[in-house]
Structure formats: C-alpha cells, structure tokens
Amino acid sequence: MAERRGGSGAGATRAAIRGRGTALNPEGRFEDRTRGDIDDGWAAEDESPSPRTELYVEHARSIISRNASPDLPFDQSLNPYRGCEHGCVYCYARPAHAYMDLSPGLDFETKLFYKPDAAVLLERELRNPRYRPRLISLGANTDPYQPVERQLQITRQILEVLARFRHPVVIVTKGAAMIRRDVDLLTDLARDDLVEVAVSVTTLDPELKRRLEPRAASPGLRLKVLEQLAAAGVPTRVMFSPVIPFINDAELEQVLEAAAGVGVRSASYIMLRLPYEVKALFADWLQVHYPFKAEHVMSLVRQMRGGADNDSRFGRRMRGQGQYAELIAQRFRLACRRLGLNRGSGPALSVDRFRVPEPDGPQLALGL
C-alpha cells in the first residue's frame, strides 16, 4: 500500500477539505513512524487538496464478530466495510484504522477496505451445525450503506443470505438511496419479524450536516427513507446520535418530532464519545468550524465524562453522567412521551424462523 501523504500530528489546525470530515491525518497509536508536511515552496497558494477514495480488498477468514458488552442489545455484528466514506468526524470507529497501520483521520474516510466474500463467509457460518441463531447487527462499526455500496453491493448480498436463512438483523445507517434499493428484501424480512432499521438523524440543518457528516445522506432524505420503510411495514428507529453539547443538542426534540411525523415509532440517543485519536480530531474540527464555541463544547463534554474527554466504562459510555447528561435524558423521555415514541418494548425480532436451506450448488457444500 502506498505511504499516505499529508500526515500530521494532532497539534496543528488546518483548513477543511471539501467533502471530507477532517483534514488531519495523525499517526495511529500503533505506528512507529511520524509523518509531516514539508513546504518545498512549489505548492500553489490556492491549492485545495481533495483526496480520492481508494478501495482495498480485505480477505477475512470469518465475518461474524462477537461482543460481551452489556451496553449493546446484541452480541453479534457484521461489517462488510472497514473505514467509512461518510466522513463523520466524531465516529467512534475511526481508531480501528490504526490496526491497519493507517490513520484514524483522513485515511479512515479515504482508504476503505471491503470484504468481497462476506456473503459466502456468512452462509458458511450459518450452516455450521454448532451455530445458534441470535440477532446480528449489520453496520455496528461502519455504515453498510456508505457510497461504495452502490458499486460493490456487498450489503445486499448479505441481506439475501439472511433472508434465505430467515435470520434476524438490525441495520444501522445514515444512508438513503441504497437502503431504498433493498426495500424488497427488508419487507420480506419484516413479514416474519426479522428486521429493524435504525437511521441516525444527527441534525435537520443541512449546513451542520455538511460539516459533521460530509458524504452522508441529507437529513431530508433520511426522513424520507424512514417514511418509506414505515409505510412498507418495516420496523424503524430514529437515532439522535451522537448528542453533541452546544452543537446539535438543541435539536433533540425537533428531530424526534420530524421522525414521529413520518411514522417512526421507536427512538434512541447516544452521547458523544471521543475514544483514542477521535479526541484530537474532534477538537481540531471544533477549531476549524466553531472556534468560538470550542471551549464551551469541551467543557460540557468533560462535565458528562467525569472531568475527562472520554469515559469508556460500561454503563456510562453511551449516556454519560452528571447534570448535563441527566438533562438530555429527561428531555428525551419527555419528548418520547409527548410524541408517542417507544410505547411498548419495540419489535421482538424472531429467531424461531431460522432455517438452513439446501445449498445452491455443489461448490458451497464441498467448501463446508
């Protein structure tokens, strides 16, 4: 893989790159080399770098990941992609790029890895006689409906396998066009209580969206997706995530109201998390886009994280603590009650429909 350019430590603030969430490319925490920009006098003053997206094949040996986190409603997840072109500056998955000797900064959103054999691996694992069906989260780490899905169609192939096996799945996304492409599969799964789609709507402000999530679908398109899925009988959830103090927190009730207005009946939220390298990337983003708010934003973050920039402890990492976190929780509860959201226990996705179909051909059977 070619050595990246434009690397920088987390110290200096630089101008934003159009269409990208961050202009920084700090070294990952496992790297033993430091890279930096050198001004040789040849760069044009108005040069505006716009790095292209690069795709790399990842040959995985298995596809289902497992966790024992008490904060999550699932213990199995599946991610067809590593890295995410949406470019959300706050993404908690960014530090995972350090395991590839790449930066959690610009590399995370420009150097993407995809698993072309994901559907084959999934089918192989589901056919294992020792496998027991449990809910799978599709997109727990990076978005399964990011822009490259249009050409690669790996997420659709995965859904086709899950549909044939009648296996329950919850999908988390900020996408629009590609999830609408898969309405046929989602409605098929919904008929047997096998799917829930959670769409993250972080803001209704297109300008804030452009700065926070430059290549994700617009707020209006995400609401249209929720409306279409709800009308088709697919259980939907709006996620106001993350809640960022003094940036989007004032919109909490507006987002929930907009989602309820298009037929959504479930909602959730997650407070801003800043693990590892994300802390410096987010601080730089604040200085670029909201320099006069930056100090107050980070003060509120630390108030809900026990004085630190981040708190990774189970039970606290998703909700925070302290007065500010309690105020958000209270506002969320009151808004949900007023709007009729989260009545009941939500969709109970079924594992009883699971079945192992006959193999499509001898090649798969021989490979088991």
Domains of the chain: 54-273 (3.20.20.70)
Amino acid at site 234: V
Q: Which residues of 45-55 are buried (b: 16+ CB within 10 A; e: fewer)?
A: eeeeeebebee
Instruction: Give the tokens for residue 281.
Output: 């990337």
Residue 302 confidence (pLDDT) above 60: yes
**Worst-scoring range by mean pLDDT, 1-10, 247-256, 291-300?**
1-10
Q: Which residues of 291-311 are buried (b: 16+ CB within 10 A; e: fewer)?
A: eeebeebbebbbbbbeeebbb
**Worst-scoring range by mean pLDDT, 17-31, 254-268, 323-337?**
17-31
Give the containing element (helix H, strand E) for 169.
strand 169-173
- Sheet of strand 236-243: strand arrangement: 64-66, 76-78, 136-138, 169-173, 195-200, 236-243, 266-271
- Residue 82: what pLDDT? 97
Q: Residue 117 — pLDDT band, cuts 50, 70, 90? A: very high
Instruction: Give the tokens for residue 68.
Output: 């024992």
- Proportion of the chain above pLDDT 70, given as a percent: 87
What mean pLDDT is predicted for residues 32-54? 56
* pLDDT tens-digit series, residues 67-104: 877 777 788 999 999 999 999 999 999 999 999 999 99
Average pLDDT, the chain: 89
What mean pLDDT is predicted for residues 303-324? 92
What mean pLDDT is predicted for residues 110-129? 97
More confident of the two residues 348 and 9: 348
Q: Is 308 left (phi over 0), alpha (psi -120 to 50) or beta?
A: beta
Instruction: Give the tokens for residue 359.
Output: 């193999």
Q: Which of 4, 113, 110 is nearest to 52 (CA)?
A: 110
- Residue 253: what pLDDT? 98
* pTM, 2 dp: 0.88
What mean pLDDT is predicted for residues 151-178? 97
Q: Is 189 left (phi over 0), alpha (psi -120 to 50) or beta?
A: alpha
Residue 7 confidence (pLDDT) above 80: no
Using an 8 Å Cβ cutoff, are 347 and 193 in contact? yes
- Residue 316: what pLDDT? 87
Q: Residue 228 — pLDDT band, cuts 50, 70, 90? A: very high
Residue 2 confidence (pLDDT) above 50: no
Instruction: Give the tokens for residue 323.
Output: 């007065």
Q: Residue 15 — pLDDT band, cuts 50, 70, 90? A: confident
- Residue 134: what pLDDT? 95
Q: Residue 29 — pLDDT band, cuts 50, 70, 90? A: low
Place of tokens 């009729």: 340
